[in-house]
A and B are shown apart, each in its own frame.
Chain A
Amino acid sequence: MIDVINLEKHFGDHKVLRGISLSVKKGDIVVVIGPSGSGKSTFLRCLNCMEDPTGGQIIFRDADIADPSVNINVHRQHMGMVFQHFNLFNNKTVVENIMLAPVYVKRKEMRKKKRKNFFLSLTNLFRKEEVKPYQITSKKRIREQARGQAMELLGRIGLEDKADVYPSTLSGGQKQRVAIVRSLAMNPDVILFDEPTSALDPEMVGEVLELMKSLAEEGMTMVIVTHEMGFAKEVANRVIFIDEGKILEEAPPEEFFGNPKNPRLKEFLAKVLV
C-alpha cells in the first residue's frame, strides 16, 4: 500500500530523517514510537507530504508522491490524517466539517464532467454515432448525500445531536473522534495518526483509543505515532522504534516489548514501562 524507500528529510543542515525504508501493507497497523525529537512525527508528516521529503521515494497508489511534480492533492484524498490538536475547522459546524472534503471532491468531479459533456456535445456534431454524455448529479444531491453519510458517521460515535454545533463547544475527546470520522468520510486507503491522544485529558483518551480499535478491527490500514504503549501492544501488528532519524527496531509487538534487541530501545522501554 505504502512503500517508503530510503526517505530523507533535512531542515537546512539539520538532518531529521536519515534514510527510512518501510513497507505498509493493506490492513497493517503500524505503531511508531520513539523519544521526542527522534523524527517520528516528521516521518509521519512526510508520508502525506505535509513536509516535503528531501530525498527518497514514497510509493502510494502506483505513484511516487515524494516527487513534487505529482498532484499530491489527489493522493491525499485517499490518505486520511488525524492531528494531535484535532484541527477541526472552527468556522464550520461539526457536520459541515465532515461533509467538506467529500462535497469538494464530488463537485470538482461534477464540474469536470460538465466540461467533458460540453466538448462531447461539440464533437458529437461531427460523429456518426453519438457518444452519450456523462450523468450529472446536482449540487443539492451531492450535499444531501454527503450529509447523510456524515450523519451516519456521527451516529457511529454517538454524536448525532452535536451535528449542528460548532467545534468550540465540544470536549477534547469529542473533537478528536469527530476528526477521526472526518478523515473516514473520504473512505481513505490508510489513515495517519499523529499523536492522537497526546493533547487529551486522561479520562478522554479511552474513548478515542476505543474508536481507533474498532477501526483496526474493521481492517483499516493505519500508521500511528503514539506514546500509548498499552495500545501499541494490544492493537499493532508491527511496532517501529525510531531514533535520530533511523529505524532501529521493527518487530511484532510481543517481540518488540518482550524481547527488544536494540540497546537504545531497551533503555527507552525501561524508562517508559515502569
Chain B
Amino acid sequence: MDNFGRKWDQFVEIFIHQNGYQKVVEGLQNTVVIAVLGLVIGILIGILIAAVRVVPKYKVFPRILNAICSVYVGFFRGTPIVVQLLVFYYVMLPILGLHKTGVQVSIFVFGLNSGAYISEIMRGGILSVDGGQMEAGRAMGLSFTATMLKIVIPQAIKNILPTLGNEFIALIKETSVVSFVGAADLYVAFNYIGSNSYEFMVPYLVMAVIYIVIVMAISLGIKLMERSLRKSDRRN
C-alpha cells in the first residue's frame, strides 16, 4: 500500500483533468435510470401478476391468465439476468427488427425481471393481509376489485415495503452487468478510468464506495417512507 498516494494521484488526474468525472456522472445516471425505471415497470407488472394469481379461479379465463403468469415468472426467475439481457439484445431485437440502445433494452429487461420477483413479493403481501379485511369489504357490497384496491393492496404494500426496498437495492447493484449489452453504467465509467491509467485499484474502490452511498441513501428513504405508512399502527 506504500504507493497508494501515487495511485490516488493518477486517479485524480484522470478523474478531474481528463474528463473522467463526465463518464462517471453519465454512468451514475444510467445506473439510476435503469434501476428506477426498472423498479417502476416491475411494480406495475408485479401488481398485475399478483392480482391475477390471487383472484379466485372458478372460471376458465382467470385460469388461463394464471398459467401465463406462471410461465412468465418461471422464465424470469429461472434464468440469470445476464442471459435475459443477451437474449433480448442479440436475439429478440434482430428478430423483431428493432433498433434500441443498450440502456433501453436494460430498462425493459430489468423491468420484466423485477416484475417477476415483485409479483411474488406482492402475492405474499396480499396473502399476509387478514382475510377478514376482504370479507368485511365484500360483506358491505364492495366488489372484489374495489376491496382489493381500497383495502387489501394498501395494507399489503405497507407490509412488503422492507422487502420491496431490498428488491430496489438488489436492482441497483445488479445493473452492473448492463455493460454486456453496451450500456455505459458506473462499472463502464470506472473501467475506462482504470484502463487509461493501467491502475484499477483506486477506481474500483471508489466505485464500491459510490454503490454503498447509493444503497445507504435508499435505505434511509425506505425507512422514512415506512415511518409515514406506519401511522395506522399502534406503535409509531
Closest to A71 in B: B143
- Main secondary structure on B side of the interface with A: helix
- Contacts known (A168-B233, A169-B234); A105 close to B141, Cβ less than 8 A: yes
Contact of B232 among A75, A76, A91 (CB under 8 A): A91
Which residues on A sit within 8 Å (CB–CB) of B132? 83, 85-87
Contact B231 A101 (CB under 8 A): no
Q: Does A268 have its Cβ within 8 Å of any Cβ on chain B?
A: no
Closest to B144 in A: A73
Contact B140 A88 (CB under 8 A): no
* B234: min CB distance to chain A, Å: 5
Contact with A along B127-161 (1 / 0, CB 8 A): 00010110111111111001000110011001000
- Contacts known (A76-B138, A87-B135, A101-B141); A168 close to B150, Cβ less than 8 A: no
- Contacts known (A100-B150, A166-B232); A90 close to B133, Cβ less than 8 A: yes
Closest to B153 in A: A91
Interface size on A, residues (CB 8 A): 33
Interface size class of B (residues with CB under 8 A): 20 to 34
Which residues on B sit within 8 Å (CB–CB) of A89? 133, 136-137, 151
Contact of A91 among B135, B143, B158 (CB under 8 A): B158
Max chain B CB contacts within 10 Å: which of A101, A169, A179?
A101
Interface positions of A from 137 to 194, Cβ below 8 Å from B: 166-169, 179, 182-183, 186
Give CA–CA (A91, B150) in the complex, Å: 9
Which residues on B sit within 8 Å (CB–CB) of A87? 130, 132-133, 135-136
Contact of A81 among B139, B158, B232, B234 (CB under 8 A): B139
Contact B142 A73 (CB under 8 A): yes
Which residues on B sit within 8 Å (CB–CB) of A122? none
* A100: min CB distance to chain B, Å: 7
Q: Does A77 have its Cβ within 8 Å of any Cβ on chain B?
A: yes
Contact A83 B135 (CB under 8 A): yes
Contact of B146 among A104, A166, A169, A186 (CB under 8 A): A104
Contact B155 A90 (CB under 8 A): yes
Contact A50 B140 (CB under 8 A): no
Q: Does A125 have its Cβ within 8 Å of any Cβ on chain B?
A: no
Give CA–CA (A183, B141) in the complex, Å: 11
* A241: min CB distance to chain B, Å: 25
Give CA–CA (A20, B162) in the complex, Å: 49
Give CA–CA (A167, B231) in the complex, Å: 11
Contact with B along A66-110 (1 / 0, CB 8 A): 000000011111111101011111111100000011001100000
- Contacts known (A87-B135, A89-B151, A168-B233); A100 close to B158, Cβ less than 8 A: no
Q: Does A48 have its Cβ within 8 Å of any Cβ on chain B?
A: yes
Give CA–CA (A259, B168) in the complex, Å: 69
Give CA–CA (A121, B79) in the complex, Å: 56
* A181: min CB distance to chain B, Å: 13
Contact B141 A186 (CB under 8 A): yes
Give CA–CA (A229, B140) in the complex, Å: 28
Contact B155 A77 (CB under 8 A): no
Give CA–CA (A48, B142) in the complex, Å: 13
Contact of A76 among B141, B233, B234 (CB under 8 A): B141
Contact B138 A50 (CB under 8 A): yes
* A62: min CB distance to chain B, Å: 17
Give CA–CA (A43, B31) in the complex, Å: 58
Contact A50 B135 (CB under 8 A): yes
* B180: min CB distance to chain A, Å: 42
Excluding A100-B140, A104-B142, 10 further A-B contacts by CB distance (< 8 Å) are A50-B138, A76-B140, A80-B140, A83-B136, A87-B136, A90-B232, A101-B142, A166-B231, A179-B136, A186-B141
Binding site for A on B (CB under 8 A): 130, 132-133, 135-143, 146, 150-151, 154-155, 158, 231-234
Could you name 29 residue pairs across A and B whose Cβ atoms are closer than 8 Å?
A: A50-B139, A73-B138, A73-B141, A73-B142, A75-B141, A76-B141, A78-B141, A79-B139, A83-B132, A83-B135, A83-B136, A85-B132, A87-B133, A87-B135, A89-B133, A89-B136, A89-B151, A90-B155, A92-B232, A100-B140, A104-B142, A104-B146, A104-B150, A105-B141, A166-B231, A166-B233, A167-B232, A168-B232, A168-B234
The 8 closest A-B pairs by CB, nearest first: A77-B141, A87-B136, A87-B132, A81-B139, A76-B141, A166-B232, A101-B140, A168-B234
